[in-house]
Structure 1
Amino acid sequence: MYIKSEFTCWFYIDIYLVSEWFFKKFLSYLKTNYSISVIFQNKSALVFLKVKMTEGTKASFKPEDFELRSLQGKDYTEILELFREHFLPREQISIGLELPVEEHVLSFQDHLKTWRECEASVCAVYVPTQEIVGALLTKLLTRNDPETFGKEENFSKYSSKLQMLLKILNHIESTVNIFEDEKLEKVLELAAITVNPKFSGQRIVYRLIEETEKRARQMGCQLITTQAANIISQHVFVKAGYETISEVDYETLELDGKRPLKVSNMNGTTKAIVVKKYL
Structure 2
Amino acid sequence: MSNLKGLEQVVLSPKESDEVYELLRDAYVPREPVCIGLRSSYDELKPLFESVIPHTLTNGISIGLKDSSSGKVVAVMLNVVIDSPDFQLFKNGELGSEKADLYSKLLQDFCAGVDVFNGSQFKKNLELLLLCVHPNYGKRGIGAELIKMSENKGRAMGCDIATIQAVNIITDHIVRKLGYQEVSKMDLSERRKENGEPLVDMELMRANGTTHLTYLSKRL
**TM-score normalized with structure 2 length:** 0.90
Displacement of 1:72 in angstroms is: 2.9
Paired residues, number: 216
Distance across 2 between alignment mates of 1:181 and 1:257? 36
**Contact between 1:67 and 1:127, CA under 8 Å: does it hold in 2?**
yes
- Amino acid across the alignment from 2:178: A
Counterpart of 1:204? 142
Residue 261 (structure 1) aligned with residue 200 (structure 2): yes
Residue type matched to 1:261 in 2? Answer: V
Matches within 5 A, 1:18-167: 63-143=4-84, 145-150=86-91, 152=92, 155-167=93-105
The residue correspondences of 1:183-198 to structure 2 (distance < 5 A) are: 183-198=121-136
User: What SS class does the counterpart of residue 179 from structure 1 fall into?
Assistant: coil
Structure with bigger strand share is 1
1:178 counterpart SS class: coil
| 1:138 Cα offset (Å) | 0.7
Q: Quote the residue 1:19 is aligned against.
A: none
Runs (4+) of structure 1 moved beyond 6 Å? none
Pairing 1:219–2:157 present? yes
Provide the aligned C-alpha RMSD in A: 1.8
- Secondary structure, aligned partner of 2:5: helix
The question of whether the paired residues in 2 share the 8 Å contact of 1:231 and 1:268 is answered with yes
* Greater length-normalized contact order (CA 8 Å, ≥ 6 residues apart): 2
| Structure 1, gaps ≥5 residues long | 1-60
Q: Is the 8 A contact 1:118 1:139 kept in 2?
A: yes
Q: Secondary structure at the match of 1:119?
A: coil
Which of 165, 184, 189 in structure 2 is aligned with 1:246? 184
Q: Compare CA radii of gyration and give the structure with the larger one.
A: 1
Q: Give the match's secondary structure for 2:179.
A: coil
2:117 counterpart (168, 171, 179): 179
State the 1:240 CA deviation: 1.9
Matching residue within 195, 200, 214 for 1:273: 214
Does the residue aligned with 2:140 lie in a helix, a strand or coil?
coil
Task: Tell me the residue number matched to 1:237.
Answer: 175
Conservation of the 8 A alpha-carbon contact between 2:29 and 2:36: no
Where structure 2 has 5 or more consecutive residues not aligned to the other structure, the ranges are none
TM-score under structure 1 length normalisation:
0.72
